[in-house]
Amino acid sequence: MSKTADEILDGVAHKSEDGPRSLTNEEIRDIVLDQMWALVDYWAAEAREIDKREKLAGLAFSILAMLDGSSIAIPAFRICTAPHSDDQEYHKKRGENWFPNNSDVEMEGEITELPLHEFWHRRDPRVKK
């Protein structure tokens, strides 16, 4: 029998002892990384007879679907470019196009204040914390 949305969300609910509040950037980052580890575990255990490339493509698709908001556990995420401050001038001098700079845009729930990859292994469920 399928679970209801409330039953699924109860398994991943994020509650505070001092009552409901907005999640912190650090909490959101950890939730996203934990969801990604869950996808890694899912695709690692995929039992169908598919090659490694198909599994990796499935993992990539699942991560994109998660970021698009297809997961009931977390909402969609906006992804925007945030190049180095010198990037535009550098590419202009070279006659090249550059990525737009959104670095100065304040966003609630920003999870990339520090590089995500630096936190990846810290959230590995196989590693004791």
Digit-coded pLDDT (tens) for 45-83: 988 888 999 999 999 999 999 999 998 778 999 888 889
**pLDDT tens digit sequence for 103-125:** 877 778 888 777 888 888 888 88
User: In three state form, how does the secondary structure of 5-70 look?
Assistant: HHHHHHHHCCCCCCCCCCCCHHHHHHHHHHHHHHHHHHHHCCCCCCCHHHHHHHHHHHHHHHHHCC
Report the residue count for the chain.
129
- pTM, rounded to two decimals: 0.79
Which letter, b or e, does each residue of 55-79 get, where b requires 16 or more Cβ atoms within 10 Å of its Cβ? eeebbeebbeebbeeebeebeeeee
Please, are residues 82 and 112 in contact by the beta-carbon 8 Å criterion? Answer: yes
Residue 4 above 60 pLDDT? no
Q: What is the pLDDT of residue 49?
A: 84
Provide the token pair at 85: 């401050």
Proportion of the chain above pLDDT 70, given as a percent = 89
Q: Domain segments of the chain: what residues?
A: 22-123
